[in-house]
Amino acid sequence: MKWDATKERFGEEDLLPLWVADMDFRAPEPVIEALKEKVEHGIYGYPSHATGVDEAIVDWAWDRYSWEVSEKAIVHTTGVVPALSNIIKAFTEPGDEVIIQTPVYYPFYDVIQKSNRTVIKNPLHFTGEQYEMDLEQLEEAITEDTKMLILCHPHNPGGRVWSKEELAALAAVCEKHQLYVISDEIHADLLYDGYSHTSFASVNEQMAKRTFTTLAPTKTFNLAGIQAAYIIVENPELRLKLRRDLAGTFMNGPNMFSEVATEAAYRHGGEWLKQLMSYIQTNYEVTRDFLEDHMPKIKVVKPQGTYLLWLNCEELGLSANERKEWLIKEAKVALNHGPIFGEEAEHFERLNLASPRKTLMEGLNRIKAAYEKRGF
């Protein structure tokens, strides 16, 4: 999609795609080899669930996040966004309110609205350098119709890795108002030096009983097309209801290739991930320095996690629509336009750092040429 659907999405020829959140890197070789072995078997009948993948997930959660997960708490699904949709439909009613912390990953809006639920915003506070949670506004936003909050952790598009203290403060509010929480932690493995991930469900036992944690190997290991994800549900009653609802829509069947890829990635992908994040971090530093030297009116929001870079373009003096047209028609690059993440992101663009440095530099030089032509 990133390369082949760019013209269809952006309406222009010859754009360099630096938008959708997947990578221009091959998956780890152990994953490729495991998939080859499965393909070469030659029989693709109805698969049964492989317990080895659950063992790999449990080990990964402990090794990476010091989070003790039981195998029975794992519910497999086809993707994080389908999981959000199914959880919302299972544990809220039409008309109920679901809170999101904006600006945020734009499918959050869709899964709420298309389920006939109401989006309630708890806008994040932008300090000029980073985003912070506004828990005072959150308290004010909650009504008797508010049933759920979706947490983006690490945050997409802002790159924040929420601290344990921030998560504990959020948990206190959610527990007080008996909110369910979906914690989307798909970017949990993509961390910069000096940062660690604390799963929201591990903050305290009370909130763990009301939390659905959505995870996947797909963002970490560039496997989006495999369609693999899982939900950690520690509360057995909630887990049973979710399993029944998934079975009712026939969304509970395993994908034989997804389970093979997941197990191989978690068992053998650690060194690949280490090298990846070293490369991504250098890409960030190169981009930061290039912007400071050649386009100082475009400011980077320093990422703590993800391979996405949030660019503050307010000093360009362009409206959101003018900036979008400028990037597409003059700079010839395809970025994710800030306002799709929420009106709070009027001045921002999202750039994908997960490309070979040659590709990234071509994109930066295209923007630089358009920047200089405009005389910014």
Tokens read off for 165:
């203290």
The pLDDT, as a whole number, for residue 51 is 82
Concatenating the DSSP letter of every residue in 308-338 gives EEEEE-GGG---HHHHHHIIIIII-EE-EEG
Mean pLDDT, range 353-365, rounded to an integer: 98
What's the mean per-residue pLDDT of the chain? 97
pLDDT of residue 50: 82
180-184 and 229-233 strand pairing:
unpaired
Taking alpha carbons only, the member of 296, 325, 330 closest to residue 313 is 296
3-state helix, strand, coil in the chain (%, to 5): 50, 15, 35
CA 352/CA 91 separation, integer angstroms: 34
Read off the pLDDT of residues 13-62 as tens digits, 9 standing for 90 and up: 999 999 999 999 999 999 999 999 999 999 999 888 888 999 999 999 99
Instruction: Provide the edge-to-edge strand list for the sheet that holds 336-337.
Output: 299-301, 308-312, 348-352, 336-337
pLDDT at residue 321, as a whole number: 98
pLDDT above 80 (res 245): yes
**What Cα–Cα distance (Å) separates residue 159 from each residue in 243, 299, 310, 315, 364?**
32, 14, 8, 21, 20
User: pLDDT tier at 362 (50, 70, 90 boundaries)?
Assistant: very high
**pLDDT tens for each residue of 256-294:** 899 999 999 999 999 999 999 999 999 999 999 999 999
* Measured distance CA(110)–CA(119) in Å, rounded: 9
Q: Over the stretch 78-106, which tens digit does the pLDDT of each residue have?
A: 999 999 999 999 999 999 999 999 999 99
Average pLDDT of the residues in 314-327: 98
Question: Residue 283: what pLDDT?
Answer: 98
The two tokens of residue 331 are: 């700079």
**pLDDT computed for residue 252 by the predictor:** 79
CB 333 within 8 A of CB 367: yes
Give residue 204's pLDDT band: very low, low, confident or very high (50, 70, 90): very high
Bond into 157 cis (ω within 30): yes
Q: What percent of the chain has pLDDT over 70?
A: 100
Q: How far apart are CA 341 and CA 99, in angstroms?
A: 14
Residue 208 has pLDDT above 90, yes or no: yes
* Three-class DSSP category at 44: coil
Report which secondary-structure segment, H or E, holds 241.
Answer: helix 236-248
In angstroms, how far is the first alpha carbon of the chain from the final one?
32
**CB contact at 8 A, 53 and 263:** yes
Domains and their CATH numbers in the chain = 6-27+271-371 (3.90.1150.10), 43-268 (3.40.640.10)
Average pLDDT of the segment spanning 129-135: 97
Which letter does DSSP use for residue 305 in this model?
B
Query: pLDDT class for 255, splitting at 50, 70, 90?
Result: confident
Whether residue 170 contacts residue 132, with contact meaning beta carbons closer than 8 Å, is answered with no
Q: Tens digits of per-residue pLDDT, 136-150?
A: 999 999 999 999 999
